[in-house]
């Protein structure tokens, strides 16, 4: 999830970043993966989520290596090649901010957008959550307690069929991070970010806790403590 506070060329070969912002008048979350090309440009792929409606759109494109000119083709499928585009995001990505204009497939201007890697502080966040979400043969259960930004308890598990693939993440230690709550154990990292009416919960580098073919897919937790599962298309 792209850290453009530094020059693109200074990034690692592969980066993943989350950004929050506005798409027209609607709040949205942008999640992108970046891979560096031989010419120094960055190949980008991912998606954005419109939070009021939880509508998802998938993205693919590239960013220039120096001035941050960025073009992302948008579609309703994670595989954009051979599918009709639903729009295009064109703009610049500098200083941790991606802003520009979203265009219709025919080139008409639809709306302005602006996303930033800066998220609201969660140092005062308090909640006791216990929720469950499922889709197809995949089931996720999440339970955590946070008091004034301090982790009290955490338990996140998943089970996927066929195959009975499981994940279990517990006994996390809190890490100091700005604009989020960050917990880790044995190389597994879990992040909570505030997104208006939701809290975004995502895991990274947790393969050892999941075993073969297990996964912890991101969850959105609403103000009532209910969670919604967001799985990659085709899973």
Question: Is the pLDDT confidence value at 187 over 50?
Answer: yes
User: How far from 28 is each of 7, 18, 85, 225, CA to CA, in Å?
Assistant: 24, 11, 19, 20
Burial 170-198 (b: 16+ CB within 10 A, else e): eebeeeeeebbbbbbbeebbbbbbbbeeb
Strand partners, 60: 45, 73
How many CA atoms lie within 13 Å of 3's alpha carbon, on the beta-carbon side?
8
| Contact by Cβ (8 Å): 111, 94 | no
- H-helix or E-strand spanning residue 93: strand 87-94
pLDDT in the model for residue 121: 92
Task: Single out the residue of 119, 113, 82, 84 nearest to residue 100, CA to CA.
Answer: 113
Q: Which domains does the chain have, with CATH numbers?
A: 8-116 (2.40.128), 127-229 (no CATH)
Burial of 47 (0-12, 13-18, 19+ CB in 10 A): buried
pLDDT in the model for residue 231: 60
Cα(219)–Cα(35) distance, integer angstroms: 25
Cα(11)–Cα(33) distance, integer angstroms: 12
Strand residues in 95-230 grouped as ranges (E): 97-103, 109-116, 127-135, 138-147, 150-160, 165-170, 173-175, 181-185, 188-195, 198-204, 219-222, 227-229
pLDDT in the model for residue 41: 86
Is the pTM of the predicted complex or chain greater than 0.85?
no
Question: Is the pLDDT confidence value at 222 over 50?
Answer: yes
DSSP string, 202-214: EEES-HHHH-TT-
- H-helix or E-strand spanning residue 5: none
Using one digit for the tens of pLDDT, what is the confidence trace for 21-36? Answer: 999 999 999 999 888 8
Using one digit for the tens of pLDDT, what is the confidence trace for 66-85? Answer: 778 999 999 988 777 777 88
pLDDT in the model for residue 190: 95
């Amino acid at each position: 999830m792209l850290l453009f506070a530094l020059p693109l060329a200074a990034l690692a070969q592969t980066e993943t970043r989350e950004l929050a912002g506005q798409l027209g008048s609607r709040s949205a979350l942008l999640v992108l993966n970046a891979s560096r090309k031989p010419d120094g440009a960055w190949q980008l792929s991912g998606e954005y989520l419109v939070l009021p409606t939880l509508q998802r759109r998938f993205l693919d494109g590239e960013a220039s290596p120096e001035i941050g000119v960025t073009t992302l083709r948008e579609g309703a499928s994670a595989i954009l090649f051979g599918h009709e585009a639903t729009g295009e995001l064109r703009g610049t990505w500098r200083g941790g901010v991606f802003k520009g204009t979203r265009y219709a497939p025919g080139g008409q201007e639809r709306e302005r957008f602006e996303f930033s890697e800066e998220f609201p502080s969660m140092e005062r966040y308090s909640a006791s959550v216990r929720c469950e979400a499922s889709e197809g043969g995949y089931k996720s259960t999440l339970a955590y307690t946070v008091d004034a930004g301090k982790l009290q308890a955490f338990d996140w598990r998943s089970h996927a069929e066929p195959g009975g693939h499981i994940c279990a993440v517990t006994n996390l230690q809190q890490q100091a991070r700005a604009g989020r709550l960050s917990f880790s154990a044995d190389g597994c990292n879990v992040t909570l970010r505030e997104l208006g009416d939701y809290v975004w919960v995502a895991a990274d580098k947790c393969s050892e806790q999941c075993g073969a073919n297990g996964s912890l897919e991101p969850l959105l937790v609403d103000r009532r403590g209910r969670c919604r599962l967001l799985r990659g298309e085709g899973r």
